[in-house]
Structure 1
Amino acid sequence: MWHFILSEQFLQFYCNLSFCFGQHELFYKKNNCKPIPTSLLLCHNIEYTAMRLPNLLGHETMNEVLQQASSWIPLVQKQCHPDTRKFLCSLFAPVCLDDLDEPIQPCRSLCENVKNGCAPVMSAFGFPWPKMLDCDRFPPDNDLCIPPANTENFVPATKEVPRVCDACKETDENDNEIAVNLCKNDFALKIKVKEISYINGDTKIVPDSKSKTIYKLSGVTERDLKKTVLWLKDGLQCICEEMNDINAAYLVMGQKMDGHLVITSLKRWQKGQREFKRISRSIRKLQC
């Protein structure tokens, strides 16, 4: 399942930018060709190296592009359509050609193909296809727009299986091992997720404060817990199949590192399951 849980920031992002297309004055602002930075993970190492600013979403600075583009990386990782990255990069990092004044937009058919593949995935998490990506806003197929790839006989390329985040790897632990793992960590919390976002390649997880249950704290202060923020290191470079349901509860354990609460173990808490009855017993008996 998809490990991407859409955040409030993501929802606000695509709703607030619904005005961007159709405002042709954007196209006539002074456009600058900028190298696509390595930090723009969504669009680094695509078929071109220079992008336009402002882009087709109205972002005028690279910082804006970097902040907003990271929210879409998990959708590409889901592989709901082979052209998802191509379509998104045509908007976030449109190709920049010195001898062409107007930007090259994605063709309507490219948008429609990606929408048909990815809209059901987004809908499953309660988010409709955003209005700013209404395919009718894009030009019909012609020589001046980016067409879809020929996917009629598309065969997925053979590639490495995505790396599972260390904290999300399935483990078959007995009671003693669960207790040992708890004792190795600085905190153990049962949480529901309020929001997920991505910052500098790491996954930032904000728990719902009302759903938080504390099982263990060591070296974690009241200040740390006042507005709990948990971090999954290098979360953009790996997948976390465990975290695939925004309505589920999770047992997270971790350590305080450089002032941050870093997750070392994450398990979906499934009420009534034998494994979690064992975990509950181990927690109650815990003596580190």
Structure 2
Amino acid sequence: MLLTLVLALLAQPLYLIAMPPEWNLPSMPTSWALPFGSSHRCVPIPSTMQLCDKIGYREMRLPNMLNHDTVNEVMEQTKHWVPLANLACHKEIRVLLCSIYAPVCIPQLLERQIKPCRTLCEAVMRPCAAVMQKFGYAWPEILNCEQFPPETDHMCIKATQRTDCDACPNNVTYESVIGNYCVNNVAFKARVDSITKESGGFRIRLKRRVRFFKSTGVSRRQKRSIRSVFIQEDSSGCACGTLEAARNDSSKRFLMMGSVSPDGTSFSVTFLAEWQQRDRRFKWAIRKIRGSRRRSRAGEISATSAGSAGTNSSESICTLSQLNEPIPTSTSLGRRGGRGNRRKRKNRRRKKNNDRRRRNRKTSRSDSTAAASDRAPARDGGTSAAADRPGRRRRQRRNRDNDSRDRRGYAYDKSYYKNYQKS
């Protein structure tokens, strides 16, 4: 028995050593033996499982906490949680979900189920429940935090030590931008002038020009008077890399989202991200926000003219169908707007209008000349106007050349037209 236990310890997978130590994964006591004839088994996590791929371990324990017995069944159930995980409402949302659907598997402890700690579940539930409610879903019963053991239990997974804050994530995705836009009441783009440390957070002073994408419950006077915002410091003492980038370069633009105080005197920022113009996911999210804003304005105008109430500006994109929509490739997601493109469009419109005016002027002159020739008596005493048709064509060419010379700024030359008529 002792020899078997030693061999089992030597055969323990190496990836268990690389797991975060904060997970409280149990070690093998000397009094435990190998489970023979166990109903559970260790199964490799497939790379096609987006939710739990590269989560920190390679094998999961089946059946899981929800009695899913096959890998296909687990993949079918976890794909519905991918949009919520991509919202990045909390850093440990994937750890919590994977510890339930694809729990870590230790071959020597197949009969022991390693659950997430209650503190981990509560930490994830606080921000993510509000996001799910905004998208029309309640916090599910399978994630009820009361069923998980406390953190003092050595057989549970607790949250890892965080390195970044909730307000300034390192990895900004399309889902995180849309999710924070739906949850928060205020969203705008601005440049940072200065950052000062205050009690409980940082005071960010903005430059003059602030462009709002969403301002629910904010008056025009409040939007014009905004000069600074406050970002609360996390209790974990995390470092916000976005604030450091704002300190180093004042020319960078930032996307800020948050809420306004009830008295309307201060703005609290809960999402801060650098404006990434070349990132196609960020660009697609901003384009969706702008499109939703234009549609909401059009709906408000039509509803006002019809005498009915308008709709909310963020309701059109706060759906799971928008989160599941595929993002276009970089080739089809070209840059719209910009100074150069606006100037080109303006020049094309000006040229098109000038060409239209020129054609109308030529047509009116030709018609007036033809009408005058029809009213004039025919040459050689004739009575038919068709006999003077060659002369009318010459007059049309003369008027056309005269119009082109006037556009170039040349003076009227009588001798030129006399020689032209003789030829």
The structure with the largest helix share of the pair is 2
* TM-score category of the 2 structures, normalised to the smaller one: 0.3 to 0.5
Name the structure, 1 or 2, with higher relative contact order (CA <8 Å, separation 6+): 1
TM-score, scaled relative to structure 2: 0.33
The structure with the largest strand share of the pair is 1
TM-score, scaled relative to structure 1: 0.47
